[in-house]
């Protein structure tokens, strides 16, 4: 993680935002951590970032993992190749239907999905 003083960021924000697409930048104020600059190379990167930091999404993932550990659920290997698995006829994917959560939809700079 690159470390840059706030004064330097203010003078060259565009440059550092571009750099942040490759690695996060720790912004310091008087030598102490003050924030992190995260850049996105695409709207998909922005969407993924929002998902990865949404507590509701993370709790659903944890619940699914817990369920699998307890022996509930179906392994992907049993579904793939099954005559009942019809990828073209299935309902809309959860990613498209439920995410981003409504509270995140329509925010500035967000992708419309």
* Sequence-separated (6 or more) residues with CB below 8 Å from residue 85: 79
Rounded distance, CA 72 to CA 85, Å?
A: 19
Q: Which pLDDT does position 60 carry in this prediction?
A: 92
Domain extent, residue 7, equals: 2-37
48 and 68 together in one domain: yes
Which is more confidently placed, 13 or 113? 13
CATH of the domain at 15: 3.40.1620
User: How would residue 111 be classed by pLDDT, with cut points 50, 70 and 90?
Assistant: very low
Query: pLDDT tens digits, residue range 1-24?
Result: 999 999 999 999 999 999 999 999
Q: Which pLDDT does position 72 carry in this prediction?
A: 86
Query: pLDDT tens digits, residue range 67-77?
Result: 988 988 777 77
pTM over 0.75: no
14 and 67 together in one domain: no
In a domain, 81, yes or no: no
In a domain, 87, yes or no: no
If one counts the domains in the chain, the total is: 2
Q: Given the DSSP bridges, would you call strands 25-29 and 32-37 parallel, antiparallel or unpaired?
A: antiparallel
Q: Given the DSSP bridges, would you call strands 2-5 and 32-37 parallel, antiparallel or unpaired?
A: unpaired
Q: Which pLDDT does position 66 carry in this prediction?
A: 92
Which is more confidently placed, 87 or 44? 44
Task: Report yes or no: 9 and 36 within 8 Å, Cβ to Cβ.
Answer: no
């Amino acid at each position: 993680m690159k470390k840059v003083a706030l004064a330097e960021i203010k003078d060259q924000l565009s440059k550092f935002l571009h750099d942040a697409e490759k690695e996060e930048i720790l912004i310091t104020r008087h030598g102490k951590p003050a924030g992190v600059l995260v850049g996105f190379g695409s709207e998909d990167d922005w969407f993924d970032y929002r998902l990865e930091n949404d507590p509701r999404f993370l709790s659903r993932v944890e619940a699914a993992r817990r369920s699998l550990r307890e022996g509930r659920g179906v392994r992907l290997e049993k579904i793939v190749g099954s005559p009942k698995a019809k990828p073209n006829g299935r309902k809309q994917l959860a990613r498209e239907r439920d995410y981003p959560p409504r509270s995140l939809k329509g925010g500035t700079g967000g992708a419309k999905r």
